[in-house]
Amino acid sequence: MNKIRQENIGNIKTPKGAFDYAKSIGKPVPELEDAIAQDPKYSYYYARNILKSRFRKGEDAIAQNPEYSYEYARDIIKGRLEKGEGTIAQDSFCSYWYAVNVIKGRFEKGEDAIAQSPVWSKWYAKEFGLKNE
């Protein structure tokens, strides 16, 4: 991989390119964060691997993806990502694990999606002492 010199970072326009550059130098690059913040995947990875903390600029993008919303809440915030809950609630897998690992209680917003999955509805009912119908 060719290293991009500091003076050429203005040529980086894609979220992947911006994240790859930050990863290659092992530190945050504030001037590339607007590009990274356009993509849920690279926003999550930037928060997890580079910042090792919240990346507020990328949270709107992250909130558009159920898996990255759940993982960001679990791994980075270590609590709820309320702006991502509507998206998480559309996915039975993410709703179940968000309830178990993040909320540590029922996630009522995600219960309709969970109910559509025989597997996750069974585990959810067992986890939270609900009647599985």
What does the domain layout of the chain look like in residue ranges? 1-51, 63-133
Say what the pTM is: 0.91
Q: Rounded to an integer, what distance in angstroms lies between the CA atom of residue 40 and that of residue 67?
A: 9
At residue 4, the pLDDT reads 52
Phi first, then psi: what are they for 79, rounded to 5°? -175, -175
The token pair that represents 28 in the structure block: 């945050």
DSSP H helical ranges for 1-133: 15-25, 33-36, 40-45, 59-62, 66-72, 85-88, 92-97, 111-115, 118-127
pLDDT over 60 (residue 133): no
The token pair that represents 65 in the structure block: 């993806």
- Residue range 48-100, pLDDT digits in tens: 999 999 999 999 999 999 999 999 999 999 999 999 999 999 999 999 999 99
- Judge whether 16 and 42 are in contact, CB under 8 Å: yes
- Residue range 9-31, pLDDT digits in tens: 888 999 999 999 999 999 999 99
At residue 132, the pLDDT reads 57
Could you tell me which residues come within 8 angstroms of residue 60 by beta carbon, excluding any fewer than 6 positions away? 37, 83
